[in-house]
Amino acid sequence: MEPILEEDGGGRWERARRSRSARPWLRVLLVLMGVLVLVGAAVVLVAGRVVAFEAIRRRTTHKFPEVQWVDRVELARWREDPGRPQPPVLDARTTQEYEVSHLRDAVRMDARRPSLRPLASLPKDTPIVVYSSVGYRSARLAHWLAGQGYTNVRNLSGGIFQWANEDRPVFRDGRPTLDVHPYDRRWGLLLEARYRASVPYMETPFAAP
């Protein structure tokens, strides 16, 4: 019986040795699988944001079909061109959101209770750019301004969320900042985590920001 026991014990030892030698490869495989899962999740999240912003724009266009739009690239080039007259930029969000950050030199105009005071000295055909978090409130403001006779108002596609997601500058108290008000928990998912300011969420009657 002794040889059998020795042989059996030796077999167990050999299997254990092979198992230990295979473990480093198993760890590498698990790490690679984890990386692939994370990369896949990131791709899905980014793609999901792109789809969501496009859906928001289509929905907003359906609600306000007469509103003109300007994309982020066009506005950035426009604002960097010293030979081109610069448009007044209106922020259609609330005071709380504006104080966290806004586009450079933007003037706040509440979409719920708009006032023409910031535009009083401007001709009605002056190019004007409006924006909000994702473009709905600013479309509402652009619609209202058109009703007041302003003929060249453009809504920023994607709002400040997509503007920031593309690493374009936002400002607080005249200085660049990374913080952007996320509006609320649900809509804030459209804003990359590194830009979401840790501030109280908004409560407004608007269906979209």
Give burial (CB, 10 Å; 0-12/13-18/19+) of 29.
exposed
Question: What is the pTM for the complete model shown?
Answer: 0.77
pLDDT at 44 over 90: no
CATH number for the domain running over 65-195: 3.40.250.10
Give the pLDDT mean for 193-201: 95
DSSP annotation of 134: S
pLDDT digits (tens, 9 = 90+) for 166-181: 999 999 999 999 999 9
| H/E stretch holding 107 | strand 107-108
> Of 165, 145, 162, nearest to 68 (Cα)?
145
pLDDT at 35 over 50: no
- Grade residue 48 by pLDDT with cuts at 50, 70 and 90: confident
pLDDT digits (tens, 9 = 90+) for 65-99: 999 999 999 999 999 999 999 999 999 999 999 99
Strand order in the sheet with 89-91: 68-70, 153-156, 128-131, 89-91, 107-108
Q: Where are the alpha helices (DSSP H) in 64-135?
A: 72-80, 95-100
pLDDT at 26 over 60: no
Q: How many CB atoms lie within 10 A of CB 158?
A: 25
Q: How many CB atoms lie within 10 A of CB 169?
A: 13
pLDDT at 30 over 90: no
Give the pLDDT confidence score for residue 202 in this predicted structure: 85
pLDDT at 55 over 90: yes
For the ranges 12-21, 47-56, 161-170, the maximum mean pLDDT occurs at 161-170
Give the pLDDT confidence score for residue 22 in this predicted structure: 52
pLDDT digits (tens, 9 = 90+) for 108-158: 999 999 999 999 999 999 999 999 999 999 999 999 999 999 999 999 999
